[in-house]
Structure 1
Amino acid sequence: MASQDPAAGNFKPDCNIVVIGAGIIGIACALSLSRLGWRVLVLDKQEPGMGASYGNAGHMATEQVFPIADASILMRLPKMLMDPMGPLRLDWRHFPKALPWFAQLLWNLRPAPYQASVAGIRSLNEASLYAWHRLLDSVNGGHLLKKEGSFLIYEDERSREAIDVLESRLDAQQVAAEYWQGDAVRTIAPQLSKRIKGGLFFPETAHVVDPWQVVDTLTKAAKANGVRFQRDEVLTGKVDDRGVNLKMANSPAIRADKVLVACGAHSAPLTTALTGTRVPLDTERGYHLMLPREKERLPVAITSLERRFIMTPMDEGLRLAGTVEFAGLHRPPNMQRAWQLHRLSQGLFETDLDTADARPWMGFRPSLPDSLPIIDSAKDGKVLLAFGHHHLGLTQAAVTAELIANLAIQGDSPTSSTPHYQPDHKPYRLTRFSSYPSE
């Protein structure tokens, strides 16, 4: 571990950058940083990709440029508290702790901050697929991404108005969306029920054939490029004039020149310890149900407007996902919510989906009340931050890695390489939460 030169009295760091978090964002960042010449160590208490990255919906949701909630959330709050199977669920036991977060969310629904959130999400999403193509092509993983579009379908004629309104809003944001009649949708997905009246087709979206395989491919490339991995939990950290010191659960302290906090829903305590800023980070508990007998059911990802869930084809089957539960990090999962996804699918197809050998899952998605991630540099560049992407973590991972690489080389870069994506990162700064009250 860290060594000390008795003559000089100086610590020699274990590595240039420690990446805390081995999810899709942490791994993508670690690979990008190593390609700049940094010595990188990735820390996580789980194997790479075994957190939220393992179970995401697999949809590259570039069309989703609007925040996670709108003003209607106030009217839905009673049902959120009372209905344990609802598509948006708030556990009443978590409500007191979540109340400040929801207050911040409502504050951000005012016109100016809401539009700022839309602009920030759109900026990342517009660059996301290009960044993913660059990243996957660089590791011979282009086959893992299928850019074949996706659908948002509806069944009730009364929903046509909502579809038209959404299409107009997306057009105003320059998001490509095409209205298709039900028969046209069934030319692409013939097993869908005739009750499907139509929907929006999003040509600039994609899906991955296996989220975990994407992480694994990037992990192997990172290891081949010299990135080291260590399974351990970071308890806390401290920044001083020489770098960063991390206290570990099961091993000696680790010193580095810089640290990147990219541990998703678990990022808030470390961010506070390292920067002194408290962030209002909560977790969206996401569920999925994997159906291994349904590999051929759909060719592209399809979301139901009324039922509020998504179905994504993958190499190992059809993944049903998309419900949101606010219940914190510590309550046990309610796997009935995963099985509810199958009940939601009934009626969408001419024949019901086969649940034989189905596997339920739950994971934590990090969510900030303005629906924007934190992608920033603090403490004179010693602390880098990349978390809070809520349900867009997969979508925005590659472009986040390019942003983080750009922030890292603003200091003493060991190479002259320049990342591809260099927008204004103001919308994603940590300082937007500098006035957030302490507990």
Structure 2
Amino acid sequence: MTKINHREHKQSNKKAIKVTVIGAGIVGLATGIELQRAGFQVEIIDKEGVGAGASQGNAGHFATEQVFPLADPSLLPKLPGMLLDPLGPFRIRPAYFFKALPWFCRFLINMLPSKRLHNGQGIKRLNQASITAMEELTSFCNCEELLLLNGSLLVFEGTAIDEVDKEFTHYRDAGVEVKLLTGEEVRALEPSLSQSVTHGLFFTHVGHTNDPYQLCQAFSQKFIALGGELSTGELGKIEPVGGGETGINLALSSGYIANTDKIVIASGAWSKPLVKQLGHKVPLEAERGYHLMMPQKSSLSRPVASYNRKFIITPMTEGTRLAGTVEFGGLQAPLNESRADCLFPHGKALLPSLFADAKVSDGERWMGFRPSLPDSLPVLGSSSNHKNVFFSFGHQHLGLTWSAITAKLLAQQMSGEQPDIDLSDYRVERFR
């Protein structure tokens, strides 16, 4: 590998310290902005470009109500049926089953009460600070209109009131700001919802964006305005020099060799092989998430999730997004159109007037990769193996939600400050 001399800098002058962030999704972009604000000189490198992955196709939901780890013991009796249903909300591709098995073994272990409690506390700490951090960041980036704080709804269709009340109590006791509504009260908020909705939970301290891709674009524009540099290229090899003490060489697939002082791996579902080069093993899996983007514009003013149908509807600038299925199948298998199409009848059931004359073929199918770890916590913070190597990936279903707060915390740590939230629960070494 070609060596490039490490450029000299004075540690007292952070403007001379170069940081390279690998990944231009919402997490990498937010991180780049916060590091520029902290006085570093930042370059973001991505193999495809700004917001090209899960960041542009997510449900647009700042889901601060989702404080419960995904490893839930109540899933156990449901898993066989869910996994066998090719169009169910949760599926493993048969050819991928044995490859995913080690991840699911760890997932099962994280159902233990002590682990579940610990992981839930880690989620809540980030969730509680995430909306405030995103408000501050969107204000700084002059795109406040892309953050809408109208709350969100979880609706029930014919579910027994005892079960509805149990869900309400579950969230309320976890500290989530929530109101229990009748069907009539739900339709008072969202008149276009079906008469089949009998109850709802209204999460009041929740937000959404009506254009996740435009949010990425706004962040990238601010990053460049601050003096940051955006580059396109696929990272091949990472070579810390002197344990990272005297720089880090980065070899791109094009053959170009770059040198940097510090590096942040924020590559989402593609982070695992990069982290492995640095001596860390992480049980990272890609949850293949689907959406069907319908051109019809709804009158909804907030995201609406369905308890019974296990999907979410979000009003977007360009139409109405139906999202929510999960598939384990790795990074290489092609998009399965039926996984996106199966969302259409659910959307039509909840918004019958909007989709009365619509066809599934009107929609645009999309699939992206959620980077998920079995404990539902991200990897965030420094590497114990190499000085000046840092991580911010594995945000699972909450990448949009956590992007601003994790960027702020990482910038604090990299600046030598005490982060507002202790990062020890998110360290990469927890997987040793």
Decide which of 265, 268, 274 is 1:264's aligned counterpart: 268
Residues 80-159 of structure 1: matches in 2 within 5 Å?
A: 80-158=82-160
Partner of 1:299: 301
Q: Report SS of the residue matched to 1:328.
A: coil
Q: Which runs of 5+ in 2 are unaligned?
A: 10-15
Partner of 1:376: 381
Q: d(CA) in 1 for partners of 2:78 and 2:196?
A: 27
Decide which of 385, 388, 397 is 2:391's aligned counterpart: 385
Q: d(CA) in 2 for partners of 1:76 and 1:334?
A: 23
Q: d(CA) in 2 for partners of 1:76 and 1:198?
A: 23
Partner of 2:369: 364
The Cα of 1:188 is off from its aligned counterpart by 1.3
Q: d(CA) in 1 for partners of 2:17 and 2:3?
A: 9
The Cα of 1:308 is off from its aligned counterpart by 0.3
Alpha-carbon RMSD across the aligned residues, in angstroms, is: 1.8
Confirm or deny: 8 A CA contact 1:125 1:396 kept in the other structure.
yes
Quote the sequence identity (%). Answer: 41
Q: d(CA) in 2 for partners of 1:281 and 1:198?
A: 37
For each residue in 1:267-321, what CA deviation from the matched residue of structure 2 results, as whole angstroms up to 9, or x when unmatched? 01111112x110000011000111122x233111000000000000111111110
Residues 40-439 of structure 1: matches in 2 within 5 Å?
A: 40-158=42-160, 160-241=161-242, 242-274=246-278, 276-293=279-296, 295-351=297-353, 353=355, 354-355=358-359, 357-378=362-383, 379=385, 381-410=387-416, 422-434=420-432
Q: Number of residue pairs matched?
A: 418
Q: d(CA) in 2 for partners of 1:45 and 1:268?
A: 15
Q: Report SS of the residue matched to 2:73.
A: coil
Letter aligned with residue 394 of structure 2 = G
The Cα of 1:137 is off from its aligned counterpart by 0.4
Partner of 2:13: none
Q: d(CA) in 2 for partners of 1:29 and 1:64?
A: 23
Q: d(CA) in 2 for partners of 1:236 and 1:95?
A: 29
Confirm or deny: 8 A CA contact 1:53 1:212 kept in the other structure.
yes
Q: d(CA) in 2 for partners of 1:314 and 1:387?
A: 26
Q: d(CA) in 1 for partners of 2:408 and 2:270?
A: 22
Q: d(CA) in 2 for partners of 1:140 and 1:2?
A: 41
Q: d(CA) in 1 for partners of 2:162 and 2:26?
A: 37
Q: d(CA) in 1 for partners of 2:82 and 2:310?
A: 14
Q: Hey, which bits of structure 1, 4+ residues long, moved more than 4 A? A: 10-15
Q: Which runs of 5+ in 1 are unaligned?
A: 5-9, 411-417, 435-439
The Cα of 1:12 is off from its aligned counterpart by 5.0
The Cα of 1:202 is off from its aligned counterpart by 0.3
If the length of structure 2 is used for normalisation, what is the TM-score? 0.93
Letter aligned with residue 259 of structure 2 = R
**Greater shift after overlay, 10-19 or 23-32?**
10-19
Confirm or deny: 8 A CA contact 1:2 1:11 kept in the other structure.
no
**Greater shift after overlay, 149-158 or 352-361?**
352-361
Letter aligned with residue 289 of structure 1 = L
The Cα of 1:236 is off from its aligned counterpart by 2.2
Q: d(CA) in 2 for partners of 1:262 and 1:80?
A: 31
For each residue in 1:139-198, what CA deviation from the matched residue of structure 2 results, as whole angstroms up to 9, or x when unmatched? 11111111001100000232x333222221222221111001000110111111111101
Q: Report SS of the residue matched to 2:76.
A: helix
Q: d(CA) in 2 for partners of 1:285 and 1:18?
A: 27
Q: d(CA) in 2 for partners of 1:23 and 1:368?
A: 18
